[in-house]
Amino acid sequence: MDNLERVELCYPQYLNQSCSGLPRPRSEAVLLYTLFFSITVSTVVLNLLVIISISYFRQLQTPTNMLLLSLATSDLLVGLLVMPVEAMRFIEPCWLLGDVMCALCYIVGFTLTSASVGNMVLISIDRYVAICYPLQYPTKITRSRIEVSVSLCWACSLLHNSFLLKDHLRQPDRYHSCYGECLMVISYISGTIDLVFTFIVPCSVIVILYMRVFVEAILQARAMQSHVAAVTVGAIRVTAKKSEKKAARTLGIIIFMFLMTFCPYYYPSLAGQDLSNNASSWAIVSWMVFLNSCLNPLVYAFFYPWFRKSISLIVTLKILKQDCSQANIL
């Protein structure tokens, strides 16, 4: 009886056409807002530190770090634009931003997460070339090619998700049964296309490149142990071995994190079902995908000493000093 008394109309002026909402207990709402706020702030701060570090320090503006910059930008926007809206949609009993914003929010969210995945693929390609073809790396991976690749990554993400959700843009309320509802449904066919281009293909590329890097690391380690190479070449091999171990470890974590956060989200497509944000598991699977944006800077950036040095300079405001951008932090 108490629950029935707490049911309220989302838009009382529409009477029978308004959705009925069941507000959460205040303590539960506060706890959820605190949890989501902590994740959002962590995502924004960590990725902002990566962006400031790479953008400010000249020594960090390498082709590889330009990819990290693009990844951090997509993850930062997930924290700024997607997480707060999705937290409000999950906690509040009614959608208060209107039908058009409902459609736009999901297009923005899907585009940013797709761009994040695309950037991870580009990073894995970059590391593969650097480790397996170190002498050709400077000529194959140039800044201009990185800029073109990043631009294509963002453009393809936008086009792909605009096509995926085009029906929601044309008719934002097509699946709404009442006022105050934000319902998004992706058909099995569209979900399958998204599954292939946003999960299977990127994951396959990352796994294949990881295996190639791992095999290359074993071959080079054996070459060192057998003393086949000359002394000078051996020195190069020692350096390469350290890079290979770091790359193999980093890519291994990438694969594990990518699979753990994205597999639950794509389960409906794998099971031949439509994908809807009205499913009981939506909050869990969507926030696992969002959590990937918070973990990315930890995986990519904290593995490098330069990030810790740049954080120290940023937090202590030493970057305000003249010529600090020329500092040697590598």
For residue 226, pLDDT over 50 is answered with yes
For residue 178, pLDDT over 60 is answered with yes
Residue 249 confidence (pLDDT): 67
For residue 189, pLDDT over 50 is answered with yes
Residue 154 confidence (pLDDT): 95
For residue 58, pLDDT over 70 is answered with yes
Beta strands 185-186 and 20-21, pairing class: unpaired
**Mean residue pLDDT across the chain:** 79
In terms of average pLDDT, the best of 47-56, 161-170, 244-253 is 47-56
d(CA 15, CA 179): 10
Residue 41 confidence (pLDDT): 94
Residue 237 confidence (pLDDT): 47
Q: Which domains does the chain have, with CATH numbers?
A: 29-326 (1.20.1070.10)
How would residue 233 be classed by pLDDT, with cut points 50, 70 and 90? Answer: very low
Q: Which of 275, 251, 250 is nearest to 265 (CA)?
A: 275
Q: What percent of the chain has pLDDT over 90?
A: 16
Which DSSP helix (H) or strand (E) runs through 170? helix 166-170
Q: What are 110-138's pLDDT values in tens digits?
A: 899 889 889 989 988 988 888 788 888 88
Which tops the pLDDT comparison, 18 or 63?
A: 63
- Tokens at residue 305, please? 């000493």
134 near 141, Cβ under 8 Å?
A: no
Q: What is the pTM of this model?
A: 0.82
Q: Which of 204, 127, 191, 122 is nearest to 161 (CA)?
A: 191
Which tops the pLDDT comparison, 247 or 215?
A: 215
d(CA 235, CA 237): 5
